[in-house]
Amino acid sequence: MARVQAQVLSTAQESGVVPEKVRDGIDLMVNGERFRHTGDPQMPLLWYLRDVLRLTGTKYGGEAGENGADLVLVDGKAVSAIMQPLARLAGKAVTTVEGLAGNDGSLHPLQQAFIDEDAIGCGYCTPGWLIAGIDLLRRKPQPDDGDIDQLPNLCRCGCQTRVRRAIKRAAAGKVARA
C-alpha cells in the first residue's frame, strides 16, 4: 500500500502529467504475499483462494462453512473462508494451510504432530482441523479436553480422537523433528 501511494505522489509532482488514478481493488496479504483483487468485492475468500490463487488446501465444506473444512487464519484468528467476502479483507493478512510451514519446508509443530499421530482419515477436512487447532493453541497454549471439545470441525472418517492426541502432543512440545 505504501509503495503504491509513493508512486502516485511522485507522478503528481511532474508538471503537465495527469496524476494516475489510485487503482481500484482490495489489497490483502495471503501467506505473506501481497495480492490485489479487482473483481467482485462480494466474492467469498474461499473461491478467491481456490479459483483465483489456486490455493486449494482450503476446502469447500458447505455454503455456511458448517464443517470447518474451509477455515483459514485472518490476522491470526480462525474464520470460515466462505463466510468472508473479500470486501471485508482489505489490509488483512490471511494464512491458509499452505502458509503454515516455514519457507524452508519446516513444519508447524501441529502439522508434525498430525503426522506423528497419523491424525488423518481421508484428509479432506485435515487443513480445517489444523487451522482450528493452531487458533486454539494461540489462545490457550495448554488446552485441556474441554477446550479441545469446542473445536467446530466435523469429520465422518472419525479422526477426532487422533486429532485430540495431536493437539496435546503439540502443546507438550513432543513433536518429532520436522
Q: Rule CB under 8 A: is residue 136 a binding residue for other proteins?
A: no
Q: Residue holding cell 468485492?
A: 41
Please give the C-alpha separations between residue 104 and each of 97, 99, 100, 108, in angstroms, as whole numbers.
15, 12, 11, 11
Q: What's the min distance (Å) between Cβ of 98 and other proteins?
A: 4
Smaller CB distance to other proteins: residue 4 or 64?
A: 64
Q: Which three cell numbers stand for residue 94?
A: 490471511
Measure the CA–CA gap between 166 and 170, rounded to whole angstroms: 6
Q: Rule CB under 8 A: is residue 11 a binding residue for other proteins?
A: no
Q: Which x/- pattern over 96-135 shows residues binding other proteins (rule: CB under 8 A)?
A: xxx-xx-----x---x--xxx-x-xxxxxxxx--x-----
Beta strands in the chain (DSSP E): 26-30, 33-37, 71-74, 77-80, 93-95
Q: Which residues bind other proteins (CB under 8 A)?
A: 40, 43-44, 47, 50-52, 54-64, 66-67, 69, 96-98, 100-101, 107, 111, 114-116, 118, 120-127, 130, 145, 148-164
